């Protein structure tokens, strides 16, 4: 199946996307009906070691079916509980000048349904703000204050998602950068 052109890419919980393919004989008219090849299946199943993925694919071809993921180092997607913060950041910035960027960041995050897209949005906006802060004042203390401010804004924006768990690498990375100890630990 991997010799055909991919129909698209599907994000995994591990920070990489895998190709997906249209079935060759699909009676369904559903445009979202797609299949993974065995390499993509191995990645989705959490088989991180390249040699184990190759062994998985070879065994799947030999067996004409999908072997048990666990026999190759695979596992279920880890889910880390995301506790409700004891002291939310948003009420501390609401009504202040920081309120405007928090609302813009929140809108940007909510416009993205997948964490892979949310992470891209957040990395772009954080990077743009860091460049502006560095150009504005070439001072180590000011750079640290700017980074703290960006972390507070991101924390307040992420509070609007009301998520209860982390289930992918991108979310873990972003929550690890927040101002909530509970969220940093979960990330």
The secondary structure of 88-144 as a DSSP string is -SHHHHTTSTTHHHHHHHHHHHHT--SHHHHHHHHHHHHHHHHHHHHHH---HHHHH
Q: Measuring CA to CA, which residue among 157, 171, 154 is closest to residue 116?
A: 171
Res 27: pLDDT:
58
Whether the CB-CB separation of 27 and 9 falls below 8 Å is answered with no
Helix (H) or strand (E) holding 173: helix 169-175
Better-predicted residue by pLDDT, 85 or 133: 85
Structure confidence at residue 1 as a pLDDT band (50, 70, 90): very low
pLDDT at 82 over 70: yes
Better-predicted residue by pLDDT, 148 or 106: 106
Res 32: pLDDT:
72
What does pLDDT average to over the chain?
86
Distance separating alpha carbons of residues 61 and 59, to the nearest angstrom: 5
Structure confidence at residue 23 as a pLDDT band (50, 70, 90): confident
Which pTM was predicted?
0.76
Whether the CB-CB separation of 123 and 150 falls below 8 Å is answered with no
pLDDT tens-digit map of 103-129: 899 999 999 989 999 999 999 998 887
Whether the CB-CB separation of 179 and 151 falls below 8 Å is answered with yes
Structure confidence at residue 137 as a pLDDT band (50, 70, 90): low
Token pair belonging to 126:
């954080």
Distance separating alpha carbons of residues 18 and 57, to the nearest angstrom: 15
Res 2: pLDDT:
43
Which CA distances in Å does 116 have to 22, 101, 112, 131?
22, 21, 9, 23
Structure confidence at residue 45 as a pLDDT band (50, 70, 90): very high
Distance separating alpha carbons of residues 118 and 109, to the nearest angstrom: 5
């Amino acid at each position: 199946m991997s010799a055909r052109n991919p129909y698209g890419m599907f994000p995994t919980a591990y920070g990489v996307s895998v190709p997906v393919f249209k079935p060759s004989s699909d009676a369904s008219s559903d445009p979202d009906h797609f299949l993974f090849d065995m390499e993509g299946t191995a990645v989705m199943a959490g088989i991180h070691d390249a040699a184990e993925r190759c062994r998985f694919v070879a065994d799947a071809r030999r067996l004409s079916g999908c072997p048990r993921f666990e026999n190759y180092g695979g596992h279920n997607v880890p889910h880390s509980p995301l506790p409700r913060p004891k002291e939310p950041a948003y009420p501390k910035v609401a009504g202040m000048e920081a309120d405007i960027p928090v609302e813009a960041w929140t809108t940007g995050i909510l416009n993205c349904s997948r964490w892979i897209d949310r992470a891209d949005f957040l990395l772009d906006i954080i990077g743009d703000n860091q460049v502006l802060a560095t150009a504005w004042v070439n001072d180590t203390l000011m750079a640290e204050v700017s980074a703290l401010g960006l972390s507070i804004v991101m924390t307040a924006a992420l509070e609007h998602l009301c998520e209860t768990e982390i289930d992918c690498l991108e979310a873990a990375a972003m929550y690890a950068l927040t101002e909530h100890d509970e969220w940093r630990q979960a990330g």
